Amino acid sequence: MTYEEAKRIRGRMLLIIPGMILAIIGDYCMGLEPADSYAISGMISSGWLTIGDLRIAVSNIGGMIGTALYTVAALAFLRYLQYKLSECSGKWDKIFLKTYMAGLVWGVMVFMYFHLACGTLIHNFNVIYDAAGGNTELAVRMWNRSYSVQFVTFWVSFVVLGITSTGGWIAVVLKGALPLKKAWALAAPLIIACIGFLLEWLLPLPFNGLSSGFESFGWIVMFLGGRKAIRNDFSAGNPERK
């Protein structure tokens, strides 16, 4: 891989920024709720009833365009990771790199699905609640039926993405498979999401849902770490690596 090719890869990876900004907008369209919101049943929040159709539509559109931009950035990053894989000699280095690469590909598959699924679950409850004449018990029972057909795919997709992307990133950084300081392991999306939850718990905010966009922001931070790894591998003074 040459310096010029690495430079092109780093440039395409910047598309993660507008892509995830759109995803973050979508996250907050779905996630922001009044401060006095409460759990009606399970994951159903009373705050869902304040989320209008337009917010769900904006979230879906943002998720669609954001996924397209993420795909371009991820494919570029994968080109560099394939190069790093060819350089690896250690068994676990290869396993962790392959796991992380699988997570990036899995993201291409499921980012759009997550936005549609989350938005649809909220929208379905609001529509059902209206159709049930405000009967909360009946609305919950009907919503649970619509949720049951998505339960397995929704949570399996989420868990697999978390293990392969967050777990894979932490592993390749700590193992030294990428030329980064070990502190970069904290740039994993789910770790950034946990920071959001912590801030939401600590800060006396007039609304709920501050943490909604932190996981998407974590992808920006992680890809910036990836760009730094490429810069560390390739520089004007080291223009070509075989």
| Closest alpha carbon to 234 in 69, 70, 11 | 11
Quick one: pLDDT at residue 240? 54
Over 80: is that where the pLDDT of 241 sits?
A: no
Over 60: is that where the pLDDT of 29 sits?
A: yes
- What residue ranges do the domains of the chain occupy? 3-233
CB-based contacts of 84-93 (< 8 A; 24+ apart in sequence): 84/177, 84/178, 88/177, 90/175, 92/175, 93/172, 93/175, 93/176, 93/177
Over 80: is that where the pLDDT of 95 sits?
A: yes
Quick one: pLDDT at residue 3? 85
Give backbone dihedrals phi and psi of 41, rounded to 5 degrees, phi first. -165, 120
Query: Which tokens in the block code for residue 27?
Result: 């996250």
> What is the percentage of the chain residues whose pLDDT exceeds 90?
87
Quick one: pLDDT at residue 126? 96
Over 50: is that where the pLDDT of 242 sits?
A: no
- CA 95 vs CA 80, 91, 169, 175, 190: distances in Å: 16, 6, 12, 11, 21
Over 80: is that where the pLDDT of 72 sits?
A: yes
Where residue 94 falls among pLDDT bands split at 50, 70, 90? very high
Over 80: is that where the pLDDT of 237 sits?
A: no
Quick one: pLDDT at residue 234? 87
Where residue 2 falls among pLDDT bands split at 50, 70, 90? confident
Quick one: pLDDT at residue 169? 97
Structure-token match 């049951």, residue found: 148
The 10s digit of each residue's pLDDT in 53-68 is: 999 999 999 999 999 9
Q: Indicate the average pLDDT of the chain.
A: 93
Where residue 1 falls among pLDDT bands split at 50, 70, 90? confident
The 10s digit of each residue's pLDDT in 223-236 is: 999 999 999 998 75
Quick one: pLDDT at residue 100? 97
The 10s digit of each residue's pLDDT in 175-201 is: 999 999 999 999 999 999 999 999 999
Under 8 Å CB-to-CB from 72, ≥6 apart: which residues? 12, 15
